Structure 1
Amino acid sequence: MGLTLDRGRYYFVLNVPKHLVGKVLGRNGQPIKQVRQALKTADLSVAKRKAFELEELKRAEWHLLDQGEEALAYEKYAAARQVAASRGFDYVPEKVLLQRSFEENLPRLREAAGPIGQPVSPKIVDALLGGVEVALPPLRQVLADYIESTKTKHLRKSERQRHSWRLPRERAVTHFEKAVPSLKQAGIDKITRDDALIFRDWWARRIEAGETRAETANKDFGHLSQLFREWCELKGHGDLENPFAKLRFDKAVDPLVTRPSFSRTWIETKLLAAGALDGLNPEAADALLMMVNTGLRPSEILSCPLDDFCLDADIPFLRVAANGRELKQRHTAREVPLLGVSLAAAHRVVARGGVKRYLHKANTWSSLVNKFLGNNGLKETPQHTAYSLRHYVEDALLEAGVDDRVRADILGHKYARPVYGSGGGLQMRRTALEKIAF
């Protein structure tokens, strides 16, 4: 975009893209290579505002002109909506416009006719007068649009967190395409409740065969329902009925949803036995040991910079903060005292210069450690995982009679009651953890 000053007045100047030269017409109906239009102002700030609005209009029109015959129907429709909006109108299908009065349609007709001697492109006329077929994108394109449209929601996430957020949604779309392949290229407005029930039956057969769990299917249903609902709201199609709503299986049919906690005896005699973790690399082993007396999440340990290992304080502690990633909830930011085997492990991490190999890689760490536990007879049951240490700490604190506010402060849980003061701070948290620490 350019602004030129000619005899005290500003003009808008914009070069036509090379691939559209010959398609963009001037006032005389002949092809032009550059748009030049008077902004009728000598005020630079006013000129910039008008130029911005004019550029938005021109680029929308050119995008429509750029849609060749090979373009998909939903791409043409999206471009037509954009052009109509740039001219100040909603896109309305032709058959709807024909039901309206002449007076109601007059402003739209005048815009489509254009100024005398300045013909309007037929494609732009179609956009203004509803001559483009209404067509919505298929589910996978909807997902791509949704990710782009909602990226500001995830600015605080690390790249790994953004990947972890996208992955299950992409997986849900892939599963739907496998279950109902005939709809892979169909617009989402073509997905019916019957199609969604076919998808549900596809999952039901897998659950009955023991291939997967109901909770896994429910995650797919939730992701697709949210995707459909929020995309439609963003794009102005809120009148479409959500076919993925209320598909969830009853959790009662899935006995594996609850992750068990380790028993104190198992931790003492198995996990903390001499040489039990020798097969793990030192950083992975120390992260696991830091969980034993703290109940910290693996991601909370493995995302901490060196400065957040506050081991020289009167009460050594780990500071849980955002640190380049989005915290699960605001109340998860906290200071957790370190003692016993967890404090010793933290000292070793600091001596090595902090977390390096698994920094912001909690999923990688979990896969490695859970495989190690399974291969070395360190799982109390097949359902136990490294995360079961967090459940142990929670259960042990409860059995020790620790106040629920202090437990919430240690574990980073939401505290339902009104919060006053610091809840006793580090001293009270350490006193609580001393009751259960190894």
Structure 2
Amino acid sequence: MGITNDRGRYYWVKRVPKRFQGIVLGADGKPVSQVRVALHTDSETEARRKAAQVEAQRMAEWAALAAGDTAAARVHYEAACQIAAAHGFTYVPMGKLTGGDIDELLSRVMALAGRNPGPESREVARAVLGAVPEVMPTLPEMLTEYCDLTATRHIRKSEMQKRKWRLPRDRAVKHFLEVAAPKGKDGLPVPMRVDEISRSDALKFRDWWSVRVQKGMQAGSANKDFGHLSEMFSTWTELKRVDLANPFTKLRLEGDTEKTVPAFSRNWVANKILEPGALDDLNSEAVDVLLMMVNTGLRPSEITDAPLYDFCTDAEIPFHRVAPNGRQLKVQHTRRDIPLLGVSLDAAKRIVARGGIQKYHDKAGSWSNLVNKYLKNNGLKETPDHTAYSLRHYVENALLAAGVDDRVRADILGHKYKRPSYSDGGYLAGRREALQKIAL
């Protein structure tokens, strides 16, 4: 984009991009390679502001022209929405405009008055007056747009966290289309446009999940699908200003019991998991992550995703730092420092000696799958419901049994608690004193 001054007045000047050459026409109806628009000001500051607006309008108009040539209906519709927005209007289909508030229609007609006739002006008129056919995205396309619209939610997430966040939403869309979408010649689901999805389709999906739950699937899995689809739909329609009823509301299946992970008993941890040789067939890094949990109650990801410098084993009071470090913490109060003692300190020192977490960095899920399988195959699960995460619950129970103050327990485990902010460093000694009561 550029501006030029001609006899004290400023103009916007731009060379037509290659992808639009041949479709941008001059006053004589012939293609032009450069466009010049009067900005009607002698102020350079105002000229630059106006030039940015003109640039946005013209690029949207040219995109609409190009889309019209290639019959890309969806792109054409999106471009029309952008053109309308660039001229200060929300895109509204013509049928709704003519049947609605006459003042709204008149304001749009007046905004178009005085424009020179030509292909660009016609596209502007079609956009402002809602004459471009309204084309909705398919459900997978809506998911992609939803992710773009909510990008600021994930600024602090690592790439792995972003993938884990997107995965269940992709899965919900896949499940729904497998059940409700028509099938193509290849037998695969044909993605449905969002305005084609009916309440009946959503209820059909609920029925499909209901049968699966009755056969043993968790109702929570079904409700996650319903929740993801409903939230995506409502957010997308709200932010895109699309007037569509959400077909995915009120689908929740009742009667599910929340499955909780039980805590290991102290006897089991001391005499089974820490029995000499019990973990010998597990790789050393996986073992040390597990052992770091024993006296800290740390979440696996708080260990696997930590950089080397968060393993502060040489400090006066050795500790492990839980900090964002390029990833999003579960909640802000999980940021904390945890003293290291006993087998957990020994494990942290071995991790440091190896140069930090290598094999399972940013792969807490892979670590959990491996360790849980190992515990199962080697008789190290106290009950079938116990998992590696049961160590975190063990620490919580052990601290409670030792009479540790609830505020200190919350500090150690990263639970929410209304507490004062410490600045003298004494909190670390207090946490160490509490953990010494249960350390193995």
* Alignment-mate amino acid for residue 46 of structure 1: E
Q: CA deviation at 1:313?
A: 2.5
Give the match for residue 202 of structure 1. 208
- Is 1:270 matched with 2:272? yes
* Map 1:77-88 → 2, pairs under 5 A: 77-88=77-88
Farther off after superposition, 365-374 or 343-352: 365-374
Q: CA deviation at 1:387?
A: 1.0
Percent identity between the two aligned chains: 56
* Map 1:223-372 → 2, pairs under 5 A: 223-237=228-242, 239-250=243-254, 252-254=255-257, 257-372=259-374
> Would the alpha carbon gap of residues 435 and 83 (structure 1) be closer, same or farther in structure 2, given more than 3 Å must change?
same
Q: Give CA deviations for 1:194-251 in whole Å, capped at 9, x if unaligned.
A: 22121111112222222x31111221112111111111111112x533222232223x
> Would the alpha carbon gap of residues 433 and 192 (structure 1) be closer, same or farther in structure 2, given more than 3 Å must change?
same
Q: Give CA deviations for 1:116-138 in whole Å, capped at 9, x if unaligned.
A: 56564433332222212223212
* Alignment-mate amino acid for residue 87 of structure 1: H
Q: Give CA deviations for 1:54-96 in whole Å, capped at 9, x if unaligned.
A: 1100011111112247645443322221111112222222222
* Map 1:371-410 → 2, pairs under 5 A: 371-410=373-412
Task: Give the whole-Å Cα distance in 2 for the aligned partners of 1:101 and 1:299.
Answer: 56
* Alignment-mate amino acid for residue 198 of structure 2: T
8 Å contact kept, 1:28–1:117: no
Query: For 1:10, what is the secondary structure of its paired residue?
Result: strand
Instruction: Give the superposed CA RMSD.
Output: 2.3
Query: For 1:29, what is the secondary structure of its paired residue?
Result: coil
Q: Which structure 2 segments of 5+ residues have no match? A: 183-188
Q: What TM-score comes out, normalization by structure 2 length? A: 0.91
Query: For 2:12, what is the secondary structure of its paired residue?
Result: strand
* Alignment-mate amino acid for residue 190 of structure 1: E
8 Å contact kept, 1:302–1:359: yes
> Would the alpha carbon gap of residues 124 and 295 (structure 1) be closer, same or farther in structure 2, given more than 3 Å must change?
same
Task: Give the whole-Å Cα distance in 2 for the aligned partners of 1:231 and 1:102.
Answer: 28
Q: Which structure 1 segments of 5+ residues have no match? A: none
Q: CA deviation at 1:427?
A: 2.1
8 Å contact kept, 1:262–1:380: yes
Q: What is the aligned counterpart of 2:192 among 186, 194, 210?
A: 186
* Map 1:210-225 → 2, pairs under 5 A: 210=216, 212-225=217-230
* Map 1:39-78 → 2, pairs under 5 A: 39-68=39-68, 71=71, 73-78=73-78
Q: CA deviation at 1:363?
A: 1.5
* Alignment-mate amino acid for residue 197 of structure 1: L
Task: Give the whole-Å Cα distance in 2 for the aligned partners of 1:325 and 1:120.
Answer: 46
Q: What is the aligned length?
A: 433
8 Å contact kept, 2:61–2:83: yes
